[in-house]
Amino acid sequence: MQGLRQQIEEVAAAVRQRTDLAPRVGIILGSGLGGLADEIEGATAIPYGELPHLPQSTAVGHAGRLVLGELDGMPVVAMQGRFHLYEGRSASQSAMMVYVMKALGVRTLVVTNAAGGINPQYRVGDPMLLDDHINLMFRNPLVGVNDDELGPRFPDMSAPYDVRLGEAALAAARRENFVCHRGVYAGMLGPTYETRAEYRMLRRLGADAAGMSTVPEAIAAQHAALPCVAISTITNECSPDKLGETSGDEVVHAADAASGKVRAMVRAVLAAVG
């Protein structure tokens, strides 16, 4: 993490040159869920390439820009696309924008992603509120010399996802009358999808869904003392006994089709932040 704070400050300074908005909530939009950024009012959109130290987002369905404005009256900053480890980023690069968001004024983080359903009860289009995760990326954004200005050397990870805000998200599902699961997310390095044997392993380990993001960001949020809520959209069913081929385009299409559910949950979290 050595030298990271200077990069964070330089990115935040470059954003402030484009807008004087002080966001209270940060939103990381996953594959197929970037459309929520189009609903932000009075938006200032900044392509990642126009900010220092930020690489281009190469993942399918990621626009690669930062959007600042108001959503339901709440000042927000949204990442319309994230940085994945499978793109060749380090874990600290993948999570850096969490610290940038905090430097801009964010006090709550909402993370979304597309994930494969390991739990046999899950169906394509179902959202899942993350209750916990398993880090099978075997990467951690906090490796290296710790910067005490960013957070403690050994942050506790017994409860990485905020219970109160998670309940607000679940209440939205009940009001809108759609199924929302609560489960464990397995963070995988990617970019390959898992084998049948790996799906069996994940289920035995206690995972309900698997994806290639979110874990580094959740770790950084805990390190930075930012309450975090994370929501997956189940975009494919990962049954090892009847497994079909999966493509990135299919994942984006499935996430886009179910995005209305996640949007309702995100808005409920904004209302609960107050």
| Contact present, 51 and 103 (Cβ < 8 Å) | no
- Return the structure tokens found at 128: 């899942």
Q: What is the DSSP string of 30-61?
A: -TT-GGGGGG-EEEEEEEGGGSTTPPPP-STT
The response to whether 62 counts as a known ligand-binding position is yes
Q: How far is CA 274 from CA 26, 43, 108, in A?
A: 14, 20, 11
The response to whether 135 counts as a known ligand-binding position is no
10 Å Cβ neighbour count for 262? 26
Q: Which amino acid is at 179?
A: V
The response to whether 146 counts as a known ligand-binding position is no
Helices 91-104 and 4-16: crossing angle, nearest 10°? 50
What are the φ/ψ torsions at residue 59 (nearest 5 degrees)?
-70, 150
Smallest CA-to-CA distance from 72 within 229, 269, 255 is with 269
Q: In the block, which residue shows the tokens 């929520």?
A: 36
- Return the structure tokens found at 232: 């997956």
The response to whether 149 counts as a known ligand-binding position is no
| Contact present, 65 and 47 (Cβ < 8 Å) | yes
The response to whether 175 counts as a known ligand-binding position is no
The response to whether 83 counts as a known ligand-binding position is yes
User: Could you report how far apart the first and last alpha carbons of the chain are, in Å?
Assistant: 33
Strands 108-117 and 209-211: antiparallel
The response to whether 158 counts as a known ligand-binding position is no
- Return the structure tokens found at 162: 């905020």
- Which positions ≥6 away from 242 have C-beta within 8 Å? none
The binding site for phosphate comprises 31, 62, 82-84, 114, 213
The binding site comprises 31, 62, 82-84, 114, 194, 213, 236
The binding site for a purine D-ribonucleoside comprises 194, 236
